[in-house]
Structure 1
Amino acid sequence: MSLDTVKNATETPDASQPWKELGLKEDEYARIREILGRRPTGAELAMYSVMWSEHCSYKSSKVHLKQFGEKAPENTAMLVGIGENAGVVDVGQGYAVTFKVESHNHPSYIEPYQGAATGIGGIVRDILAMGARPVAVVDPLRFGAADHPDTKRVLPGVVAGIGGYGNCLGLPNIGGEVVFDACYQGNPLVNAGCIGVMKHEDIHLAKASGPGNKVILYGARTGGDGIGGVSVLASETFDDSKPTKRPAVQVGDPFQEKLLIECTLEIFKEKLVAGIQDLGGAGLSCATSELASAGSGGMRVELDTVPLRDATLSPEEILMSESQERMCAIVEPQHVDRFLEICEKWDVIATVIGEVTEGERLEIFWHGEQIVDVPPGTVAHEGPVYNRPYARPEWQDALQADDAGKLPRPQTSEELRAQVLALVSSPNQASKSWVTDQYDRFVQGNTVLSQPEDAGMVRIDEDTNLGVAMATDGNGRFAKLDPYTGAQLALAEAYRNVAATGAKPLAISDCLNFGSPEDPGVMWQFAEATRGLADGCLELGTPVTGGNVSLYNQTGDIAIHPTPVVAVLGVIDDVNRRTPMAFAEAGQLLYLLGDTAAEFGGSAWSQVVHDHLGGMPPKVDLGREKLLGEILISGSRDGMIDAAHDLSDGGVIQALTESCLRGGNGARIVVPEGLDAFTFLFSESAGRAIVSVPRSEELRFTDMCGARGLPATRIGVVDGEEIEIQGEFTLPLAELREAHEATIPALLA
C-alpha cells in the first residue's frame, strides 16, 4: 500500500477512510476535516482516533470534572494540580510528594497478568515523569462473584501481574482493596496508584519549549503489542453479541522499567531535560502532541528513526502502539551527548527523533515524506466535549425505598454469633493475606505500615522520620444507592483511614469507574458522584490533584455499580508516632468514637446475611469526619492512643475482629447504653473509629474529646484470647482466625 502523505490527502479528498472502525463518530471525523481543511492522512487519523478516545480525551466527563477546579479549597499544600502527569503536594522539609491513581480495567479482563502488570508500569512512569523517585504502589481491585469460575481466571492473574511487576521494580505495595461483587463479573476494576518523592526544585512538567531543542525517545523499542491498547479498549462497552475492538494488551518488562527509572533519575540529577513525558495510553501520539501543545512552539518528528521491535510496523501502528517502558524528553542541544551517554551507561536505547520548531504545528515525516501536519492542541487538548444527557434512573426510588432496616434480624444470641462468623468469613470481609502475601511490602526498608492496616505509610526522610500515608476506598454498593453520598462516603473513609494512622490528610487523587456514558442513568450517577466528591473535598480542605475516569465498564446493558475510588494522601512528621490497628497490649481501654445509628443500607450485613441491596447509605457529616481526624491525629502525636481502627464495612464487629487478630489479644466488650447488640455490632454509621487508650492516658484523652465535642464511649478492655460481647456470646480468637483466614484460599484453590 502506498504511503498516505499530506500532499496525497490534499489531492484525494474523497478517499475512503476507516474512521468508524477506529472508534470515531461521524461528526468527529467531520470536525477533523474541518480543523485540517482537508481529509486527514492515515497517520493523522490514527492520532486523532486514539487521542479523542474516551480514555484519553475525557470527552464525556470534562464538563463535570471542571468542578474540581471551580470548587477547589484554598490555602492547600498543592504544588501541581490537574492537567499534568500527576499531582504534587508540599509535605514540608523541602520535600514534595507526587501521587496518582489510574485504571487498567479492560486490558486486565482480556489478559489479567499483562493488563495488571502494565497498569503498575504505567502509573510508575507517570510519577517518574514528574521528577520523582517512585517509593510505593497501591492497588484497589474489584472482581466478580468470589465463587464464579471466571474469578479464578482473572484474580490470580491480576495479583500475579501486580506482584510480579512491582516486586521486580523494588517498590513496596503498601495498600489497596480487594472487593467481590457480581456486578464486576465481566468488568473487573484494576486500579493502580503510585507515590513518588522529590525536592521542590526537582519538579518536572510535560512541555516542549525552546526551538532547536531535541526530542529524544528512550527506553524500550516500539512493538506491535498494545496497538490502540487501553485508549481504544477502554472506550467501548464489552458486548458478546457483536464484534468488539479487542487489540493486543501491552506486554511489560519490569527489568527494562527499572533501568529506565534509574537512568531517568540520573538525567534529572544532572538537569538535562527541559520537558518530559512518559508514553502510556496512545503512545507516541500522546507524547508528541501533548508536549508540543503544552509548550511554546511546534515539533518536527522523523518517525522512521523510532527504534522498532517489528520492522513491518506501519507509521500508523507506530503512532498508536502502547508498548511499555518508553519516555520522551525535550533536551537542549548542548546536553544531548551527555543525555545519550547516561542512557548508554544504563543500557537504555535512546534516539533523537526530532526537534522543537518555531511554528505552531506538529509535523511528522516518514522517510522524508510528510505524513502529519496538525495543530497539536487539537489532538491533545481540544478534542470533543460532550454534555451528554443524564437523568435519574426510574428504578432509583424503588431501590432506596427497599429499606435494609426492615430485613429480619437475629432473634437470639446464638443467631447473632452465627451471623458474626458469617460476616467475618465472607469474601469481602475475610483476610486478604492470600493476595497481599504475594506482594513485597517492605522492600527499600522504609515501609512502616502496610496492608491490612488502615493506610499504608512510608518514611521519606531517614534523618527526620518524615513520612506519608495513603489509603484508597470506594463502596460501589453505597454509590448505587445514592451516588452523591456514596462518593462522599468513599472520600470520608479514605480520609478517616489516613487520620487513624496519625497522618494529616492533605489531598486526593481519584479513579472514577462507571458504565457507559451513552446511558443517561449512568451519566446521572457520574454527575452526582463527581458533584459529591467536589463538594466533599471543598469541605474537608483536600484538593483533587488529578486522577482518572474509566467509563464503559459495562457488558451489554449491564453496568457495574458506580465505583468512585478515592485515594487520600497524608503527611506525618515522625513515623515513629504512627498508630497501628493492632490491640497489642492487654489492659488497655477501648473507646468508640462517634455516634452509632441504625444504618444498614448497602451494609456488609445486608449483603452477607440477606443478599440484599436497598435503602439509603449511611449519612455523611464531613464536619464530624474532620473533627474525628483531628482527635485521631492529636491522640497519636501526644501518645494518648496506642491503636486505632476506622469503622466502615462490617461495622464494630469487623473492626474488633481485625484489631484483635492483628495484635493477638482478645477484648471484653459492653454494648453501650441506648443501643441494642445487633445495631452496635453491624451498623455502618460513618464518622467513627475504635481506639485503645492506655489507662494512664484515659482522663487526658476523654477531656480532649469532651472539649472538642466528639462523643467518646468506653466499650471495653483489651483482654484474654476471645472476643466477648457481654450478655450475648464469646468467640475464641482461634475460631475467629480460622473463619477469617480460610475463605480466600479455599475459593481460589
Structure 2
Amino acid sequence: MTLDDGDRDIVRAELGRDLTREEAALFENLWSEHCAYRSSRPLLGAFESDGPDVVVPPGDDAGVVAIPSSDDDAADDTYLAMGIESHNHPSYVDPFDGAATGVGGIVRDILSMGAYPIALTDSLYFGDFDAEYPRYLFEGVVEGISHYGNCIGVPTVAGSVAFHDDYAGNPLVNVACVGLVDADRMVTAEAQRAGNALVLVGGETGRDGLGGASFASEDLDEDAETEDRPAVQVGDPYSEKLLIECNEALLDEGLIESARDLGAAGLGGASSELVAKGGFGADIALDRVPQREPNMSALEILLSESQERMCYEITPENVDRVAAIAERYDLVAAAIGSVTADGNFTCTFEGETAVDVPAEFLGEGAPLNDLDSERPTAPERNLPSDPPAVADAFDRLLASPNTASKRWVYRQYDHEVGVRTAERPGGDAAVLDVPEADAAIALSAGADPNWTDAAPYEGARAVGLENATNLAVAGARPHAAVDCLNGANPETPREYGRFEAIVEGLAEICADLSVPVVGGNVSLYNDSDEGPIPPTPTLAMVGVREEATAPGIDLSGEGSLLVIGDRVLAGETDPALGGSEYLAGLDGTDRVPDLPGDPAGLVDAVRDVARMDSTLAAHDASHGGLAIALAEMVTAETGASVDLTGIDAHGALFHEQAGRAIVETTAPEAVADRLAGVAPVTGLGRTTTDGRLSITTDRGVLTATADRIAERRAVIERELDG
C-alpha cells in the first residue's frame, strides 16, 4: 500500500504536516477508486434515484424503497433494502473465499439499514468455458456462493452466468441482496449525536483482507494469486448467521442509533464514513479492538477487512446491554471509541496518536479524475458469407454455455429457505411472497457482455429492458434497481469511453422505464495480462405484484403461441445479429438490434398480458434468440408447431432484440387488443402435446424433441459432473 505522490501532497497541504504511516495507508484505501469513485463519480449523476416510493437514495450502505401494499387502505410501511457489490479481484485470487465474502459483505450492507436479508442474486462472468482456468474459477466461485448463502439461510434465487474470452484473466462476481425492514426499525449509516459510543460487534480482527480496497483498484498481474492473497478476506458464515440474528435482537430493543458494516478499508473506512456522514468526528482507541492474532500493529487493526463485523453507534447507557446481547450470540462486542463534535477522526494506539485527520476530508476530499475518452463506434455489418445450416446453428446454440441450462449452478443453492420463494430459479424472474406488505416481489439480475462489447450504449439499454421484461412476464411491475458497473482501466481513453457509454445507456433506459436506481457499485481496473474485460453493467431489478403467482415458462399444450414486440417478424426492421450468441460463434459483426420505441408501454402491456387468466405461459425472448426461447418452453409432455416462412430464417430465429415476450394464450385477440398502438403482436403457431419443437422456415423444417433439447442444454452439468 503506497499513497500516490500527488495525493500525498494534497493531504500534506491540508494537514500542514507530514502523514503518519497509518494516515497514509488510510488515505490510500479511502481515496482509492474502489472507495472514492474518482473516475466514475462524475458520470453517476446520470442515474435518476428519486421516486414516490424511494425512502433512502444512493449514498448509504443500501438503498431503501417502500413496497406498495395491495390494500389501498394500508400504509406502505414495509420497506425493501437493496444492495449490490463486486468481489472481482478477490475471486480471481481465491475463488471460494473471494466469492463467499462477497456474499457476506452485501448481506451486512442490508443489516446496516436494519433490514433482514431475504434473498440473494449472483451475476457471474468468466472466460471461455472450455478453458481449464476459467472453469476452475467458475467452480470455485459457485461453491463459495453456495456455501456462504446456504449456511446463513438466505436463499439465492436469481442471477446470470456468462462466458466471454475477455474475462479469462479477470472474472466478475457481482452479488446483490434484498431485505425487509419495517419503517420504525430502519437505521442508516449516519451518526446521530456526539457523545455516543462506537461499538464493534461480530468476529475478532485478524490480518486477512489488508489493503483490499486499494487491491480492488489496480489491474491484476500474473503474480496476483500469490502476492495479493493477503488482501482476500476469509469468511465464516456461521458467525454471519449469528450476526444477522444479533442485529435483529438489537433492533428489537431499539439499541442501534446508526450502523455500518466493516467492508472496504475495514474499521478505518466504516467508522470514519459513519461519523463524517453525520457531520461528526470520532475518537477511537485501536488497543480496544478485539484481535484474534497477536502483536497486530495499528495499521493492521485499522485496515483489516476481517469479515462478520459491524460498527454500531450506541448511546452510552445501552453499551452494556449491547455487549450482553452479543455474548448471547457468541459474538464479541467492544466499545472502541466515541462520536465527537469536532469533526476530526482520531485513532490512538499504545498511547500514541496514529491518525488525526478531518473526517469529511478523509471521506470526501479525494480529487476526481479528469480522463480522456473515445466514444465507441458502431460495428460494420460483416455477416458470414456462408452461414451454417439453420439446424446446425440451432444445435450449436442449444449447447453453448451462454444459452445452455444453468441448472448446475442454481441446484447448488438453497433457493427455498425462508419459505418465501414462489417461483424458483430456471425461469425469467424469481418471485417471493411478502405477506408483511400483502404483496409479492420479483427479482431479475444480470447483463450480457456480448451486447455491451459490441455496442456499449445500445447494449446497456438492452440489459435494462431485458431485466424489466423478465419481471413483466412474471406479472410484476418494475419498481427499483441497483447496479454494478464493471469496467476496465479508466485511464485508457478507449475503455473510459466504453464505460461512459454503458453508464449513459443504462441510466437512460431506467429513466425511460421510471425505475429509480437507488444504489450500486463501481468496479474499474478489471484488466489483466489477458487484456480488458468487456464493459459490464450488471443490473439487479425488483418488481412488485399483488400475489406470489406467475404464469411460468413451461408450455401447457392448450393455447396459441404469440410473440410480443418482435420488430423483425412484424416487418418493421431488418434483423440485426450484433451481440448475438449466434454471431459470437461465427466470424462476423453487425449492429445491435434497436429497442422498441415505447419500452415503458411495452413492459406495462406485457405485465398485463402475463396477469390475464387466459395466459398459460410467458417467457422473455433474448439470449440465443427466438429459437432458444421456444426450446426452453418445451417440456416432455408439451411442444410447439411454429411457422416462420417468408422471412430470413437466421435473422428471425437468432437475433436477440431485447423487449420481446413469447406468450401461450387461449385469447390471442385479447393480447392483440392490449398491445394495440404499443408494440406488434405476431402469431407463431400453436402448442402441442407431443414434446416436440417444430419450426417451419424457408430453409426447411427444424425439429427437436424435448429429450434432445434437454440433453444438448445440459452441457455444463455434463462437463462438470463427468
Q: How does 1:538-549 map to 2 (within 5 A)?
A: 538-549=511-522
Aligned residue number for residue 339 of structure 1: 322
AA matched with 2:448: N
Contact kept in structure 2, 1:73 and 1:541, CA below 8 Å: no
Superposed displacement of residue 515, structure 1: 0.7
**TM-aligned CA distance change 1:76 to 1:482, over 3 Å:** farther
Aligned residue number for residue 74 of structure 2: none
Contact kept in structure 2, 1:147 and 1:747, CA below 8 Å: no
Aligned residue number for residue 445 of structure 1: 419
Inter-partner Cα distance in structure 1 for 2:239 and 2:547? 35
Structure 1 runs of 4+ aligned residues shifted over 6 Å read: 241-244
**TM-aligned CA distance change 1:220 to 1:100, over 3 Å:** same
AA matched with 1:344: E
Aligned with residue 238 of structure 1, among 189, 195, 220:
220
**TM-aligned CA distance change 1:648 to 1:76, over 3 Å:** farther
Give the secondary-structure state (helix, strand or coil) at the position aligned to 2:400.
coil
Superposed displacement of residue 355, structure 1: 0.8
Give the secondary-structure state (helix, strand or coil) at the position aligned to 1:296.
coil
AA matched with 2:108: R
Give the secondary-structure state (helix, strand or coil) at the position aligned to 1:247.
helix
Inter-partner Cα distance in structure 2 for 1:701 and 1:301? 64
Superposed displacement of residue 28, structure 1: 0.5
Inter-partner Cα distance in structure 2 for 1:417 and 1:313? 64
Inter-partner Cα distance in structure 2 for 1:721 and 1:369? 76
Superposed displacement of residue 296, structure 1: 3.4
Inter-partner Cα distance in structure 1 for 2:227 and 2:536? 24
Inter-partner Cα distance in structure 2 for 1:618 and 1:317? 51
TM-score, structure 1 normalization: 0.91
Contact kept in structure 2, 1:76 and 1:506, CA below 8 Å: no
Aligned residue number for residue 92 of structure 1: 68
Contact kept in structure 1, 2:502 and 2:537, CA below 8 Å: yes
Aligned with residue 557 of structure 2, among 562, 568, 586:
586
Contact kept in structure 1, 2:49 and 2:518, CA below 8 Å: no
Inter-partner Cα distance in structure 2 for 1:131 and 1:99? 12
Aligned residue number for residue 609 of structure 2: 635
AA matched with 2:524: L
Inter-partner Cα distance in structure 1 for 2:336 and 2:630? 59
Aligned residue number for residue 571 of structure 2: none
Aligned residue number for residue 16 of structure 2: 37
Aligned residue number for residue 716 of structure 1: 685
Contact kept in structure 1, 2:80 and 2:181, CA below 8 Å: yes
AA matched with 2:594: K
Superposed displacement of residue 406, structure 1: 4.8
Is structure 2 residue 97 aligned with structure 1 residue 114?
yes
Inter-partner Cα distance in structure 2 for 1:282 and 1:224? 12
Contact kept in structure 1, 2:110 and 2:177, CA below 8 Å: yes
AA matched with 1:161: G
Inter-partner Cα distance in structure 2 for 1:387 and 1:204? 35
Give the secondary-structure state (helix, strand or coil) at the position aligned to 2:704.
strand
AA matched with 1:666: G
Aligned residue number for residue 553 of structure 1: 526
The runs of 5 or more residues in structure 2 that have no matched partner are: 70-76, 569-573
Inter-partner Cα distance in structure 1 for 2:83 and 2:145? 16
Is structure 2 residue 206 aligned with structure 1 residue 223?
yes
Is structure 2 residue 41 aligned with structure 1 residue 62?
yes
Aligned with residue 618 of structure 1, among 583, 593, 611:
593
Q: How does 1:684-699 map to 2 (within 5 A)?
A: 684-693=656-665, 695=666, 697-699=667-669
Inter-partner Cα distance in structure 2 for 1:249 and 1:200? 36
Superposed displacement of residue 557, structure 1: 7.3
AA matched with 2:583: S
Superposed displacement of residue 23, structure 1: 4.1
Aligned with residue 599 of structure 1, among 556, 566, 576:
576
AA matched with 2:282: M
Once the two structures are overlaid, the 10-residue window that deviates more, 627-636 or 300-309, is 627-636
AA matched with 2:668: E
AA matched with 2:647: L
**TM-aligned CA distance change 1:241 to 1:363, over 3 Å:** closer
Inter-partner Cα distance in structure 1 for 2:30 and 2:49? 31
TM-score, structure 2 normalization: 0.94
Contact kept in structure 2, 1:404 and 1:615, CA below 8 Å: yes
The runs of 5 or more residues in structure 1 that have no matched partner are: 1-21
AA matched with 2:669: L
Superposed displacement of residue 489, structure 1: 1.0
Q: CA RMSD in A?
A: 1.9
- Percent of aligned positions that are identical: 38
AA matched with 2:386: P
AA matched with 2:584: Q
Contact kept in structure 2, 1:405 and 1:601, CA below 8 Å: no
**TM-aligned CA distance change 1:404 to 1:121, over 3 Å:** farther
Aligned residue number for residue 373 of structure 2: 390
Aligned residue number for residue 545 of structure 2: 572
Once the two structures are overlaid, the 10-residue window that deviates more, 436-445 or 161-170, is 436-445
Q: How does 1:477-496 map to 2 (within 5 A)?
A: 477-496=450-469
**TM-aligned CA distance change 1:586 to 1:226, over 3 Å:** same
Inter-partner Cα distance in structure 1 for 2:53 and 2:553? 27
Aligned residue number for residue 648 of structure 1: 622
Contact kept in structure 1, 2:375 and 2:501, CA below 8 Å: no
Inter-partner Cα distance in structure 1 for 2:278 and 2:223? 45
Deviation sequence 1:585-616 (CA, Å, 0-9, x none): 222111111122411011111113x154x321
Is structure 2 residue 387 aligned with structure 1 residue 409?
yes
Q: How does 1:673-684 map to 2 (within 5 A)?
A: 674-684=646-656
Deviation sequence 1:699-743 (CA, Å, 0-9, x none): 33332223x433111212221211011351321111111111134
Aligned with residue 497 of structure 1, among 458, 470, 480:
470
Aligned with residue 142 of structure 1, among 112, 122, 125:
125
Q: How does 1:280-291 map to 2 (within 5 A)?
A: 280-291=263-274
Contact kept in structure 1, 2:602 and 2:678, CA below 8 Å: no
**TM-aligned CA distance change 1:56 to 1:467, over 3 Å:** same
AA matched with 2:43: H
AA matched with 1:83: G
Aligned residue number for residue 432 of structure 1: 406
Aligned with residue 354 of structure 1, among 337, 340, 353:
337
Contact kept in structure 1, 2:512 and 2:599, CA below 8 Å: no
Contact kept in structure 2, 1:146 and 1:747, CA below 8 Å: no
Aligned residue number for residue 658 of structure 1: 632
AA matched with 1:703: D
Deviation sequence 1:617-638 (CA, Å, 0-9, x none): 11123x5322221122212333
AA matched with 2:57: G
AA matched with 1:183: D
Aligned residues: 704
Superposed displacement of residue 318, structure 1: 0.9
Superposed displacement of residue 518, structure 1: 1.3
Aligned residue number for residue 6 of structure 1: none
Superposed displacement of residue 381, structure 1: 2.1
Give the secondary-structure state (helix, strand or coil) at the position aligned to 1:735.
helix
Inter-partner Cα distance in structure 2 for 1:228 and 1:691? 51
